[in-house]
């Protein structure tokens, strides 16, 4: 499975790849969503293992009755499109409804009057406390672009409603009135406490609406940096003139649904007491930075997937062969037809392309931050070496099955690997420290609700791990693709062991291969070293011969004169 969008199938003789078929659905508000048709594929590609026979194909699941909405298979109706609960619905279900009395609840005459007073009194106090928290929050939070009214509660809302006349009021209403009448000081104290809390909160922080059009990021950053957290924020020069919407588009490939979370069955997925010894096999701090170039910048091209995969290959070539070569990101954008160039793609498919075709040196096809033409490059036949990837894979065995242990093992034994995660608005503002998401309560303290933000996928290069010397917090060390002036010189640290922003879910790697371009042979490390050694000796011999010829010419000149 290639992410949640396609299938890659390898047999002994053939390899097949295709995306799942889908259809767009435009809603009334103009937003486009996509419905997967898991019983069909788009037109895909197949090739034999020798890579000399190619073709196109599409596939349909057998014995399936199809209509536009559902698939019926073996008399079982399967809905293909998941439903989504909106933020407003969640807020209504988890907040407002829980704070209201059940109006059908009756205080029966079987209860002792004192017990009834006590029960209702506790209910009022508990509900006022919850209502206070809710109104405090909503007084500060509102990013609703439709200007919908946010419901608030007053003390009178807590009294159960009745359709009876004043003379016909039931026992529960009389109890309610008696409590409010007999305890004026108590209720006044509660109302006063509510007002004081709201006033102090309003003085502390004015409201910020983090809508898609918001761009006063420094105002929000100043508040963000006052929170207790293990990282600090700042505004990178790349984002200073961007709105939240523009930053959102820059961050990665938009997602139409939540990332699939598979049930993980491996006994090493969750680190319990029995697995702590496993981590003792590795150093507390470890990274491959000395094998990497400084962080590059993808610019205004959605090339993070190609950038990170190319940088992974460069580092692994140096680790495996001691061969230093800058590789072309642009070649992967223009020629790897499985992906969509600057419109986005997947590291797994870059690796698949590199296993079937090649990677080439950067000087042969430099990066231009836009889509180009595949044939617009140097003459590849004149290159000494070209490069391929073998054994491309998802770390953990399949899509979605990665975890902290597998990542450390692959990273330590073979070099940097590509990871994909879901950056949020706060992450875009990261400057230094160990990044982690902030809690709902922390959002409220900034005077802002969570911003308008569409989930995206962003691919980066995992290069190491560590433990903070003071806080003992575990982290991953990652190279980003937003240039050397973002974050910690182009890198960031992020909380390790908790799948922060999904960074421990999708991890990919591959083994680099050097191809002798004259013989078209894949070179082992030993063969490469012998070839380089022979070339060096030949070059030395040629230089000596040149010096000898030059010396003979000088001697002949002196003799003649």
What digits encode the pLDDT tens for the residues 332-374? 999 999 999 999 999 999 999 999 999 999 999 999 999 999 9
High-pLDDT (> 70) share of the chain, %? 64
Determine phi and psi for 69, rounding to 5 degrees. -110, -40
More confident residue, 412 or 34: 412
Q: SS3 for 373? A: coil
Helix axes 171-182, 184-204, angle to 10 degrees: 70
From the number of C-beta atoms within 10 Å of its C-beta (0-12, 13-18, 19+), residue 312 rates as buried
Show the tokens assigned to 532.
């380089």
Confidence of residue 16 (pLDDT cuts 50, 70, 90): confident
Active-site hit among 405, 436, 480, 507? 480
Give the C-alpha separation, 550 to 292, whole Å. 42
Specify the long-range contacts of residues 95-104, CB closer than 8 Å, at least 24 apart.
95/134, 96/134, 96/151, 98/130, 99/127, 99/130, 99/131, 99/134, 99/153, 100/157, 101/127, 101/158, 101/160, 103/160, 103/161
* pLDDT score for 47: 83
Confidence of residue 461 (pLDDT cuts 50, 70, 90): very high
Give the C-alpha separation, 508 to 308, whole Å. 10
Of 319, 340, 318, the C-alpha closest to 327 is: 318
- Catalytic: 304? yes
Residue 226 has pLDDT above 50, yes or no: yes
- Catalytic: 541? no
pLDDT digits (tens, 9 = 90+) for 75-85: 333 333 333 33
- Of the listed ranges 165-169, 293-297, 338-342, 455-459, the one predicted with least confidence: 165-169
Kindly report the average pLDDT of the chain as a whole number: 75
* pLDDT score for 77: 34
pLDDT digits (tens, 9 = 90+) for 174-218: 444 443 444 444 344 444 444 455 444 444 457 788 899 999 999
Give the C-alpha separation, 66 to 56, whole Å. 23
Active-site hit among 236, 248, 301, 304? 304
Active-site hit among 342, 403, 458, 507? 458
- Catalytic: 237? no
More confident residue, 187 or 383: 383
* pLDDT score for 78: 37
Continuous segment of H or E residues that includes residue 310 = helix 304-321
Q: What single string gives the DSSP state of each residue in 56-122?
A: EE--B-SS-EE-SSEEEETTEEEE-S-----HHHHHIIIIIHHHS--TT----TTS-HHHHHHHHHH
What is the value of pTM for the model shown? Answer: 0.68
């Amino acid at each position: 499975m290639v992410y949640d969008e396609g299938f890659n199938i390898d047999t002994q003789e053939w390899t097949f790849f295709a995306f799942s078929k889908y259809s767009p659905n435009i809603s009334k508000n103009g937003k486009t969503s996509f419905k997967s048709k898991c019983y069909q594929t788009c037109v895909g590609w197949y090739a034999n293992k020798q890579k000399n026979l190619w073709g196109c194909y599409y596939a349909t699941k057998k014995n399936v009755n199809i209509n536009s909405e559902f698939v019926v298979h073996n008399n079982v109706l399967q809905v293909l499109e998941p439903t989504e609960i909106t933020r407003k619905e969640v807020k209504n279900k988890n907040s407002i409804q829980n704070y209201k009395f059940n109006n059908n609840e009756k205080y029966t005459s079987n209860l002792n009057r004192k017990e009834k007073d006590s029960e209702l009194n506790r209910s009022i106090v508990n509900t006022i406390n919850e209502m206070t928290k809710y109104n405090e929050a909503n007084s500060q939070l509102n990013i609703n672009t439709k200007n919908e009214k946010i419901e608030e509660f007053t003390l009178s809302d807590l009294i159960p409603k009745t359709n009876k006349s004043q003379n016909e009021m039931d026992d529960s209403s009389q109890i309610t009135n008696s409590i409010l009448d007999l305890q004026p000081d108590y209720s006044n104290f509660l109302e006063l406490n509510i007002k004081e809390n709201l006033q102090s909160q309003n003085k502390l922080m004015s409201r910020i609406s983090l809508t898609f059009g918001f761009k006063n990021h420094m105002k929000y950053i100043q508040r963000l940096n006052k929170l207790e957290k293990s990282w600090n924020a700042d505004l990178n020069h790349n984002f200073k003139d961007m709105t939240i919407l523009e930053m959102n588009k820059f961050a990665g490939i938009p997602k139409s649904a939540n990332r699939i979370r598979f049930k993980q069955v491996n006994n090493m997925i969750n680190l319990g007491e029995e697995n702590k010894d496993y981590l003792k096999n590795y150093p507390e701090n470890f990274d491959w930075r000395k094998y990497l170039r400084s962080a590059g910048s993808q610019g205004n091209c959605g090339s993070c997937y190609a950038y990170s995969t190319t940088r992974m290959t460069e580092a692994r070539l140096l680790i495996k062969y001691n061969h230093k070569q800058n590789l072309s990101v642009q070649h992967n954008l223009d020629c790897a037809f499985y992906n969509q160039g600057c419109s986005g793609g997947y590291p797994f498919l870059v690796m698949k392309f590199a296993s079937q075709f090649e990677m080439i040196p950067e000087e042969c096809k430099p990066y231009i931050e836009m889509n180009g033409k595949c044939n617009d490059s140097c003459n590849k036949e004149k290159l000494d070496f070209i490069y391929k990837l073998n054994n491309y894979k998802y770390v953990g065995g399949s899509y979605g099955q990665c975890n902290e242990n597998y990542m450390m093992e692959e990273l330590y034994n073979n070099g940097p690997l590509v990871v994909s995660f879901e950056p949020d608005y706060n992450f875009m503002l990261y400057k230094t420290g160990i990044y982690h998401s902030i809690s709902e309560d922390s959002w409220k303290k900034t005077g802002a609700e969570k911003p308008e933000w569409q989930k995206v996928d962003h691919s980066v290069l995992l290069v190491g791990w560590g433990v903070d010397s003071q806080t003992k917090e575990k982290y991953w060390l990652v190279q980003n693709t937003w240039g050397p002036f973002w974050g910690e010189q182009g890198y960031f640290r992020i909380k390790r062991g908790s799948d922060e922003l999904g960074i421990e879910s999708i991890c990919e790697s591959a083994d680099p291969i050097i191809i002798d371009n004259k013989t078209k042979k894949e070179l082992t490390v030993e063969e490469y070293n012998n070839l380089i050694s022979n070339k060096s000796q030949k070059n030395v011999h040629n230089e000596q011969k040149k010096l000898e010829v030059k010396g003979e010419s000088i001697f002949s000149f002196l003799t003649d004169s």
